[in-house]
Each structure stands twice: as structure tokens, then as C-alpha cells.
């Protein structure tokens, strides 16, 4: 009986490993356009899909949202919130969906996705946060352990692609 249970555990572990590998391959082969974010504390954007190409930007903004617009092997052509485009290696990117507060005015994080909901926090333009639950013109936005609902028109990184 103990030998049979070991076999089941082994087969289960192999099945889980294969599922994990399939998931990673699926993420790596997503078709553009799609949203991603910068995973590393520093990321070098290049003019082409290789380390042979010159660096145009060095991003020092972990979790900055980017729009992936093209794929070439392990390189992704991305667009940043300012509209600049270039190539980043896939290992510098995360599938975590983030957004950046845009506009000139301070944004309101509300308790619920409604215009008349209580404002629990305020965020300045340029603040980056994790988003989810986008509905009714609002997205749930979390930054530094604080969260609330922000108007979709006040963030970049959430529109349907």
C-alpha cells in the first residue's frame, strides 16, 4: 500500500509540474496587444530585439505598466505610459496588471465604484498601483497597502485590448 501511494504522489507531482510549465509557456506566447508591467527594479529598453541594439531608456520604476505591441522570440516591443516604444527582454516583464495615475489633478480612491462614494484616499499623478475589478467606469486600485476605486479615465493601463 505504501508503494502504491508513493506512485500516486509521484504522478501527481509530475502532473502539477507539467501544468505549471504549460501555464508559463502560455504566458510567454500571448498574442499582442496585451498589458504587462516592469518586474525588475531596473529595465533597459532597446531600439531592437537584441542586446546588440542600443539602449534608449533605462526604467527604474518597478511595476510600471506597459502595453506589449509586438513579440520577437524572447523580446517584447512595449509602449510606455508616455507613448515611447522599444524592446524589453521577457524576463523583465510581469503579467501583473498595474496602472499609473494620469492627468494633472489629484485622483480620488473611493470606497466603492460610484461617483458619490466616500473618498478614502487621494493619489497624485504618476502613482503606480495594481488594478483589478474594473467595472462601471472604475477600477480597484491598490498602492502601498491602500486601496480604493479610481475612475478609469484617471489611469493608464486598464483599457480592453
CATH pick for 99-156 out of 3.40.50.300, 2.30.30.40, 3.60.10.10, 1.10.540.10: 2.30.30.40
Give the start-end residues of each E strand in the chain: 34-38, 43-46, 55-59, 65-72, 75-79, 85-89, 93-94, 98-101, 107-110, 119-123, 128-135, 138-143, 146-151, 155-156
Mean pLDDT of 8-30: 49
- The answer to whether 34-96 and 99-156 have equal CATH topology is yes
pLDDT tens by residue, 65-121: 999 999 999 999 999 999 999 999 999 999 999 999 999 999 999 999 999 999 999
| Domain parsing of the chain, residue ranges | 1-30, 34-96, 99-156
Q: What is the CATH number of domain 34-96?
A: 2.30.30.40
Q: What is the pLDDT of residue 159?
A: 82
What's the CA gap between 161 and 153, in Å, rounded?
16
Mean pLDDT of 121-148: 96
Q: pLDDT-based confidence at 18, cuts 50/70/90? A: very low
pLDDT tens by residue, 21-60: 443 454 457 899 999 999 999 999 999 999 999 999 999 9
Q: pLDDT-based confidence at 3, cuts 50/70/90? A: low
Amino acid at each position: 500500500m505504501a508503494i502504491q501511494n508513493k506512485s500516486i504522489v509521484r504522478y501527481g507531482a509530475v502532473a502539477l509540474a507539467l501544468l505549471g510549465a504549460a501555464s508559463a509557456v502560455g504566458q510567454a506566447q500571448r498574442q499582442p496587444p496585451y498589458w504587462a508591467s516592469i518586474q525588475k527594479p531596473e529595465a533597459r529598453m532597446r531600439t531592437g530585439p537584441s542586446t546588440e541594439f542600443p539602449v534608449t531608456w533605462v526604467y527604474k520604476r518597478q511595476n510600471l505598466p506597459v502595453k506589449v505591441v509586438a513579440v520577437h522570440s524572447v523580446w517584447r516591443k512595449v509602449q510606455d505610459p508616455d507613448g515611447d516604444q522599444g524592446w524589453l527582454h521577457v524576463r523583465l516583464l510581469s503579467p501583473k496588471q498595474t496602472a499609473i495615475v494620469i492627468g494633472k489633478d489629484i485622483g480620488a480612491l473611493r470606497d466603492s465604484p460610484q461617483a458619490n462614494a466616500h473618498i478614502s484616499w487621494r493619489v497624485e499623478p504618476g502613482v503606480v498601483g495594481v488594478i483589478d475589478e474594473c467595472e462601471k467606469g472604475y477600477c480597484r486600485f491598490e498602492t502601498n497597502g491602500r486601496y480604493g476605486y479610481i475612475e478609469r479615465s484617471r489611469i493608464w493601463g486598464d483599457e480592453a485590448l
